[in-house]
Structure 1
C-alpha cells in the first residue's frame, strides 16, 4: 500500500526573548506562530476499523499536538533557564503569568527540534513524523524533516 503524508496546521501566541542576541529580539516580544505538522504512514485497510482509510484521524493528531505544544505554549513566555532572564521569569511567575523555562535558546530553530521530540514520543508506532514547519512571522519559518535527522 502507498505511503501517504497528512498535515494539520495549528496556531498559538507565544512570547520569548533571546538573551545575548545582538538585535531587537533580545527584548521580550511575541509572535503569532503557525505550526504545520506532517506525518506519514499507510492508510488503515481493515474495513471493520472505524478509522478505515485513514493514516491517522486528524482529531487524534490534533489531540497530541494540542496537549504537547499548543496548550503549553499558547499565551506563555519562553526563556532559556540558564540566562539572567530567569529573574524576569520568576517575577512573571510570581504575578501569575505562564512561563516556560527551556534548556535552549528559544529560537524557532530550537523550538521546532523540541516540538519534534515531543510529538514523535506520542505518535502510534505505525505513524512517523515526517516534518514540522514553525512559522514565526509572515516571511520567516524553521523546518524540521525526519530525513535530515536519521
Structure 2
C-alpha cells in the first residue's frame, strides 16, 4: 500500500496590481484579497522516534516556506510587469515610499500561481511534492496549478 496523503494549508494576503495593455477595468491599479491554498503530497513519517511521526510535513514548516516565499513578499505590495511602461509608475510609487514588486510576467492570477509553484517547489523537502495551488482572486474567480498538468 502506498499511503500518499495530500495536506493543504491556506493563506491570505492583500496585493495590488495593474494589467498593462488589458482592455478592461483591470488595466487600472486595483487590489485583491487573495486566498492561496497550497496542497502537498507525501507519505506520513513512519519512524516513531521522529518528532514529526505520523505527519507528511509539519503544517508549521509548510507555513514558514509559503510565508517567506509568497505572503511576506506579496502582502501589501503592488505588482507590475517590469517589461511594460508600468515600470515608470512603479519607480514613482517606490520614490514615494510604496512597496512595489516588479515581476517579469503579466501579474494575472494565472501567471502568479505559476511563479508561486516554482518558489514553493524549490523549498520543499525531498520526500514532499507540490500537488496543487489554488489562488483565489475574488469569491468567484480563481486560478489553479496542478503538478499532474505540468509533467
Same-fold call, TM cutoff 0.5? yes
Matched residue, 1:34: 35
Length, aligned pairs only: 150
Matched residue, 2:49: 48
SS at 2:14 equivalent: strand
Q: Deviations over 1:116-146 (max 9, x none)?
A: 0000000000000000000000000000000
**Which runs of 5 or more residues in structure 1 are unaligned?**
none
**Which runs of 5 or more residues in structure 2 are unaligned?**
none
Taking structure 1 as the reference length, what is the TM-score of the superposition? 0.99
Matched residue, 2:126: 125
SS at 1:31 equivalent: strand
2:74, 2:51 → 1: CA distance?
32
Deviation at residue 96 of structure 1 after TM alignment: 1.1
Taking structure 2 as the reference length, what is the TM-score of the superposition? 0.99
Query: CA RMSD for the aligned pairs?
Result: 0.5
Q: Which runs of 4+ in 1 moved over 4 A?
A: none
Say whether 1:102 aligns with 2:107.
no
Matched residue, 1:143: 144
